[in-house]
Amino acid sequence: MGATAEGKGEVSAVATVEPALFIGAMGLVALAVALTVSCWVGGNVLPFGQLVNWIYPTVGYVGLLFLVCQIYKDVKRQPAD
Protein backbone atom coordinates (compact mmCIF):
# COMPACT_ATOMS: atom_id res chain seq x y z
CA MET A 1 0.00 0.00 0.00
CA GLY A 2 2.37 2.68 1.18
CA ALA A 3 5.90 3.03 2.36
CA THR A 4 6.30 2.30 6.02
CA ALA A 5 8.40 4.41 8.33
CA GLU A 6 10.91 2.26 10.18
CA GLY A 7 8.79 -0.88 9.73
CA LYS A 8 6.17 0.21 12.30
CA GLY A 9 3.30 0.21 9.84
CA GLU A 10 3.15 4.00 9.69
CA VAL A 11 2.78 5.62 6.31
CA SER A 12 5.20 8.47 5.74
CA ALA A 13 3.50 11.58 4.37
CA VAL A 14 6.76 13.42 3.73
CA ALA A 15 8.08 13.23 0.20
CA THR A 16 11.33 14.76 -0.87
CA VAL A 17 11.93 15.97 -4.38
CA GLU A 18 15.52 16.35 -5.46
CA PRO A 19 16.46 18.54 -8.42
CA ALA A 20 17.46 16.82 -11.62
CA LEU A 21 21.02 15.56 -11.53
CA PHE A 22 22.05 17.27 -14.74
CA ILE A 23 20.79 20.73 -13.75
CA GLY A 24 21.20 21.17 -9.99
CA ALA A 25 19.38 23.60 -7.72
CA MET A 26 21.11 26.74 -9.00
CA GLY A 27 20.44 25.67 -12.58
CA LEU A 28 16.73 25.37 -11.82
CA VAL A 29 16.72 28.85 -10.30
CA ALA A 30 18.52 30.24 -13.35
CA LEU A 31 16.03 28.48 -15.64
CA ALA A 32 13.07 29.91 -13.71
CA VAL A 33 14.53 33.44 -13.85
CA ALA A 34 15.30 33.15 -17.58
CA LEU A 35 11.79 31.90 -18.37
CA THR A 36 10.21 34.62 -16.25
CA VAL A 37 12.20 37.39 -17.94
CA SER A 38 11.56 36.00 -21.43
CA CYS A 39 7.81 35.73 -20.76
CA TRP A 40 7.71 39.24 -19.32
CA VAL A 41 9.55 40.69 -22.32
CA GLY A 42 7.43 38.70 -24.78
CA GLY A 43 4.25 39.80 -23.05
CA ASN A 44 5.23 43.45 -23.30
CA VAL A 45 6.52 43.34 -26.88
CA LEU A 46 4.06 41.08 -28.70
CA PRO A 47 0.32 41.69 -28.99
CA PHE A 48 -1.97 39.24 -27.19
CA GLY A 49 -3.29 37.64 -30.38
CA GLN A 50 0.20 36.93 -31.64
CA LEU A 51 1.16 35.39 -28.28
CA VAL A 52 -1.86 33.08 -28.41
CA ASN A 53 -1.06 32.13 -32.01
CA TRP A 54 2.46 31.15 -30.93
CA ILE A 55 1.82 29.58 -27.52
CA TYR A 56 -1.25 27.46 -28.33
CA PRO A 57 0.36 25.31 -31.08
CA THR A 58 3.62 25.08 -29.11
CA VAL A 59 1.79 23.57 -26.14
CA GLY A 60 0.19 21.06 -28.51
CA TYR A 61 3.53 20.05 -30.00
CA VAL A 62 5.09 19.67 -26.54
CA GLY A 63 2.12 17.50 -25.55
CA LEU A 64 2.62 15.32 -28.62
CA LEU A 65 6.32 14.99 -27.83
CA PHE A 66 5.46 14.00 -24.25
CA LEU A 67 2.96 11.41 -25.53
CA VAL A 68 5.52 9.91 -27.92
CA CYS A 69 8.11 9.73 -25.13
CA GLN A 70 5.62 8.00 -22.82
CA ILE A 71 4.69 5.45 -25.49
CA TYR A 72 8.38 4.80 -26.21
CA LYS A 73 9.07 4.34 -22.51
CA ASP A 74 6.16 1.90 -22.13
CA VAL A 75 7.18 -0.12 -25.20
CA LYS A 76 10.78 -0.22 -24.04
CA ARG A 77 9.76 -1.50 -20.59
CA GLN A 78 7.76 -4.47 -21.85
CA PRO A 79 9.66 -7.72 -21.39
CA ALA A 80 10.81 -9.46 -24.53
CA ASP A 81 9.21 -12.84 -25.13
Q: How far apart are CA 41 and CA 35, in angstroms?
A: 10
DSSP 31-81: HHHHHHHHHHHHHHHS-HHHHHHHHHHHHHHHHHHHHHHHHHHHHHHSPP-
CA distances from 47 to 39, 51, 52, 60, 64 (A): 13, 6, 9, 21, 26
Q: What is the pTM of this model?
A: 0.49
Q: How confident is the model at residue 60 (pLDDT cuts 50, 70, 90)?
A: very high
Domain ranges in the chain?
1-45, 48-81
State the pLDDT at residue 33: 93
Res 57: pLDDT: 95
